[in-house]
Structure formats: structure tokens, C-alpha cells
Amino acid sequence: MTDRKILMIGTAAAIGILAGGALYLTMRPGGDPFAQCSSSAVAGGMGAFGTEFTLTRDDGQRVTDAQVFDKPTLLYFGYTFCPDVCPLDAARNADAEALLVEDGKDAQTVFITVDPRRDTPEVLADYTSLFSDRMIGLTGTDEEIAAVNRGWRNYYKAHDEEDQEYYLVDHMTNTYLVMPGGQTVEFFSRETPSEQIAETVACYVDASA
């Protein structure tokens, strides 16, 4: 047998071992069933995102994270007075949700305010209804909102030192995919189109079936 044939056989065997090992890691108990869907890499892993909470829903009801995340959820932190970014992101997420529902996937969007002073349940209800009947708005006390933002590592800061009515709020613009049970598995930047979001969420839904 020539050296070239030996090299080709060895290379093929190595590829087979690597492929089999990857499949084993994915399928074995304790493996990551979502490995083929993930496109985000963050320090500490996506498991570091999220927290338990009790917040006020846009219908005035107090709800827990377990009650909110009962289906695959696109989670966004913003505020209703936001002049441009939040409406565009909320509309994009609602479009992704609509694509998923059209494809037979039960999904929803959640909008958690970073401006609880102005974003009452009534204000959130009016705002979320502009984008989707399935979008849930959540607010709470300053302390509750601060805690839930810390859980998802979401930075925000209100510039209300001089104006207590028409101030703006700096905040991050990631959208997170939270699976039933509260597991955060993916995040999307605001540059990610709705079609790509829907495709990725569908992959996670199928993998969890």
C-alpha cells in the first residue's frame, strides 16, 4: 500500500471519528440537544443569562417567569418612549413571531420595560398591541426591573436628571430566545433579520420536540 493511500485512509478515519464524536456529544444524555442550532458564543455560556422574577403584566396581573415563559419566547428590553430603536426592534420581533406561527410553531414575544416610571401596564398594553396580539408587556417596581435586567446582563440608564417627563433611556438592544422553563439559549443583535430569527427559533423548537 502506498504512503498516499495510507494517508487518505487515515484522514478518512479521523474525520469519521470526529463526526461520530460530535454526534455522540449531541445525542448522549447530558449533551447539548441544541448544538446544531446555536450561532452565539458568550463568555460563561447562555446559561448565565436569566433569572426568576415576578413582574406586572400589561393586563395588571402579577406573573412569574414560569408563567411567562410557557412557550418559546423572543425577549426584548426597551421602553415605549423610545423614539426609533425599540419600535423597529419590536416590529422585527413581531414579524419573526408571525413567521413562526405561520409555520405552525407556537411562539411569542415579550417586551420588558427599562422605564417603569412611565411604562405602566396600561401604557404597555397600548404599545404592544401595535405590533402583535401575542406580545406581552411587563413592568414592575424600580427594584424588580433592575433585578431582571441584571439577570440578562442588560445595561440601561435613564437620562432624567434635568427632565422628568421627556427623558431618554440608554439600553442594550439584544433579543433573547428563552425556551419553556426559562432556559435562555440564544440571542440576536438588532441587525439580525426576522427571517433568520424565525429560522433559528424553529430549529430550537424542532430540537426540543
What is the DSSP code (8-state) at residue 161? S
Q: What is the pLDDT of residues 41-69, one digit of tens each?
A: 565 578 889 999 999 999 999 999 999 99
Report pLDDT for 48.
86
Which among 192, 194, 193, 148 has a CA at the least distance from the CA of 171?
Answer: 148
Q: What is the pLDDT of residues 122-132, one digit of tens each?
A: 999 999 999 99
Of the two residues 31 and 96, the one the predictor is more confident about is 96
Reported pTM: 0.82
**Taking 50 as the threshold, does the pLDDT of residue 98 lie above it?**
yes
Strands 62-64 vs 54-57: parallel, antiparallel or unpaired: antiparallel
Maximum distance among all Cα pairs of the chain, rounded to whole angstroms: 83
The pairs formed by 141-148 with CB atoms below 8 angstroms and a separation of 24 or more are 141/116, 142/116, 142/117, 144/53, 144/54, 144/55, 144/116, 145/55, 145/112, 145/113, 145/114, 145/116, 147/51, 147/53, 148/51, 148/53, 148/55, 148/112
Report pLDDT for 34.
79
Contact at 8 Å (CB) between 173 and 189? yes
What are the φ/ψ torsions at residue 79 (nearest 5 degrees)? -155, 155
Report pLDDT for 47.
81
Which among 145, 134, 115 has a CA at the least distance from the CA of 68?
Answer: 134
Q: 10 Å Cβ neighbour count for 199? A: 15
Beta strand residue intervals within the chain, DSSP E: 54-57, 62-64, 73-78, 108-113, 135-139, 156-158, 169-171, 175-179, 183-188
Contact at 8 Å (CB) between 74 and 197? yes
